[in-house]
Amino acid sequence: MDFSWLLEASTWIGFFTLMVLEIVLGIDNLVFVAILANKVKPEHRDRTRMLGLGLAIVVRLFMLAGVSYIMTLTADLFHIGDFAVSGRDIVMCLGGLFLLYKATTELHERLESKPHYAQYFHSSAYAAAGTVILQILVLDAVFSLDAVLTAVHMVEHIIVAMAAVVVAMGVMIWASKPLTAFVEQHPTVVVLCLGFLLMIGLSLVAEGFHFKIPKGYLYAAIGFSIVIEIFNQISMKNRKANTFSGQSWRRRAADSVLGMMGIREDLVAKSAKSGKTDEDGVFEDSEKNMIRSVFTLAERSVQAVMTPRPDIERLDISQSLDEQKAQIQATPFSRLVVIGKAGIEEPLGFVAKKDLLNQLLNSGSLNIMEAVKQPLVLPETATVLTALESFRKHSADLALVVDEFGAVQGMLTMKDMMETIAGEFPEEFEREDAPTIQTNDDDSLTVDGSLEYAELAQQLNLPPLPDDADFHTVGGLIMEEMQDIPNVGDFVDYYGKRLIVLEKDGQRIERVKICSVPE
C-alpha cells in the first residue's frame, strides 16, 4: 500500500489546521459536558465526564467512517435535466447547508452575546451516571456533526481526519480548563473559526453542484487569516499593556508626574509594608490624591459633586414671617435657596444670612426679597473644570445645576469643587457624622452612598468612569449594576469588590460596605 501521501506538505497542513478547528469548535461541547456531568453526585462527576468524552471519541470516529463511506457513493441516482445527482452530491449539499446554518447562528449568538447552552439545562436534582453518559454521547453526536463534516471535506484521507479528531479530543480533555479560559478571553478566535466554517460550508455546496474548489485555496485563505489573527492578538496584548490598567490619559499623566517627582506606587506600597515614613521621600496619600484630582477635573461631572435637589436648604417666602425666621435660625448653612409657591422647580434665587443680618443691624427689619441674589446656572453636563472657570468668570460662589428641561437637579458651591481636589472640609455641625470613607478592622471600607465614584476609584484603583455612564456616586453604581432599587443587605460585585448596602434613607443609599469578593 502506498503511503507516500504522508510525506506531502498538504497532508500535514490539513492535519494541523483541522486539529485547531476541531479544538476551537469543540469548546462548546466541553461546556455542555461539564453542565451534564454536574447532574451526577460530586464524587462521580470526574469519572462520568472522562468516560463520556472517551466514548464520544469512538462515536465521532464511527460518524467519520460513515460520512466518508457516503462520500464515495458517486453513482448517479437520478437526473435533473442534464445534471446528474449522486448520493455524494446530496450529502455534500445538505452538509454544506448545515455548516452555513450552524456557523451563521453561532456567529449571531456570539455577536449578540447571548448564552446558547444554559437554556437547555435547568434541573438541579442528581441523575444516574449511566443516563448522563448517554446524554453526553447523544449531545456530542449532534453538536459534533459540523466538526465531522469539516474533517471529511478538508483532508483527502480518512486516516488523517481520524487522527486529527482523536488528537484534538485528547487535547481538549487534558487541557479543558485553560482552553475554555483562552476561548472566553479571545472571542475573535472563535469568530475566525466560524468564518472558516462558513467558507467550508460554501465549498461543500459548490462541490455538491460539481464545482471543484482546490483545497490549496482553502488552506491559503485559512493560513492568511490565522497570520492576521496572530498579529491582531499581539496588537491587543500590546495595547492592553500600554493602557496602564485601563486608566484614563489624565490619570496616567498624573501618575507620570508623580513618577517624575519620585513617587511610585510600588515604592509607596513597599514603604508602607516596611514602616518607612515620608522622610524617605514618599508623599502622603492625601498629597498624591490631590495631584491626581487636579489632573482629572475635566473628567468629573458636576453631578458627582453637587448637593442633590432633595438636600438643598430652602427658604419658603410663601410662609409667614415667623416661620421664615425660624427656618433661618434653624439652618446651619450660610446660604439658602429662596422659593415661592412654585417650589424648587422655579427658585427665586438665593439669600446669604450675612445680608439678612446687615438688614437687621441697619434697619431693624427683615426684607428677604431685597437680599435675594441670582445664582449662576450650569447644565448638568458641565465638568468641574468648566464650572470652576464659570465661577471665576462671573465672580460667583453658588450655582444651580439644571437638566435639559431647565429643572433644578442640584446646587454647587466653591466648597464642593475644592473638596474634589483637597478632600472633605467638614463643617462643625457635620463633625459628629461618620467619615465619608471609614477603614474597618477587617480591612473593608464603609463609605457614603453619595461618595463620588472617581474618589472611590482612586482609593481602590478601579477603572475610570465610562463617558456614557448614567451614575456618578457609589449609590448610583449599585443601582446601575442591579438595575433596581436595592434594599439593606443587597450587594453587587464590581471588579473584584463586593458593595453591600448597610443603610438607607427612603430610597437613598446612605452607607455602603466594600470588601473583596469571597473566593
Q: Please give the share of the chain, as a percent, with pLDDT higher than 70.
A: 70
One-letter amino acid for residue 25 of the chain: L
CATH code at 434-516: 3.30.465.10
Q: What are the residue ranges of CATH 3.10.580.10 in the chain?
A: 302-428
Q: Which of 496, 495, 490 is nearest to 516 (CA)?
A: 496
Dihedral (CA of 277, 280, 282, 287) sign: positive
Q: Quick check: 279 pLDDT over 70?
A: no
pLDDT at 119: 45
pLDDT at 81: 80
> Binning pLDDT at 50, 70 and 90, where does residue 227 land?
confident
The more confident residue out of 250 and 211 is: 211
**Tens of pLDDT, residues 161-180:** 788 878 877 877 776 656 65
Q: List alpha helices for 215-352, DSSP H.
A: 215-241, 249-260, 265-274, 285-295, 302-305, 321-330
> Binning pLDDT at 50, 70 and 90, where does residue 324 land?
confident
CA 78/CA 97 separation, integer angstroms: 21
> Binning pLDDT at 50, 70 and 90, where does residue 465 land?
confident
Q: Which of 373, 243, 360, 387 is nearest to 305 (CA)?
A: 387
pLDDT at 483: 83
**Tens of pLDDT, residues 474-492:** 888 898 888 888 899 999 9
pLDDT at 28: 58
Q: Which of 116, 103, 141 is nearest to 25 (CA)?
A: 103
pLDDT at 90: 84
Q: What are the residue ranges of CATH 3.30.465.10 in the chain?
A: 434-516
Q: Quick check: 97 pLDDT over 80?
A: yes
pLDDT at 399: 92
pLDDT at 513: 92
| DSSP characters over 113-173 | T--SSGGG----S---HHHHHHHHHHHHHHHTHHHHHHHHHH-S-HHHHHHHHHHHHHHHH
**Tens of pLDDT, residues 40-57:** 776 776 777 777 777 777
Q: Which residues of 48-66 are buried (b: 16+ CB within 10 A; e: fewer)?
A: bbebbbeebbebbbebbee
Q: Please give the share of the chain, as a percent, with pLDDT higher than 90.
A: 5
pLDDT at 421: 73
CATH code at 302-428: 3.10.580.10
Mean pLDDT computed over 321-349: 87
| DSSP characters over 410-478 | EEEEHHHHHHHHH-----GGGTTSPPSEEE-TTS-EEEETTSBHHHHHHHHTPPPPPTT-S--BHHHHH
Q: Quick check: 38 pLDDT over 70?
A: no
**Tens of pLDDT, residues 237-266:** 776 655 544 455 555 555 565 555 555 544
Cα→Cα distances 173→45, 113, 117, 304, Å: 14, 26, 19, 51
Q: Which residues of 77-109 are buried (b: 16+ CB within 10 A; e: fewer)?
A: eeeeeeeebbbbbebbbebbeebbebbeebbee
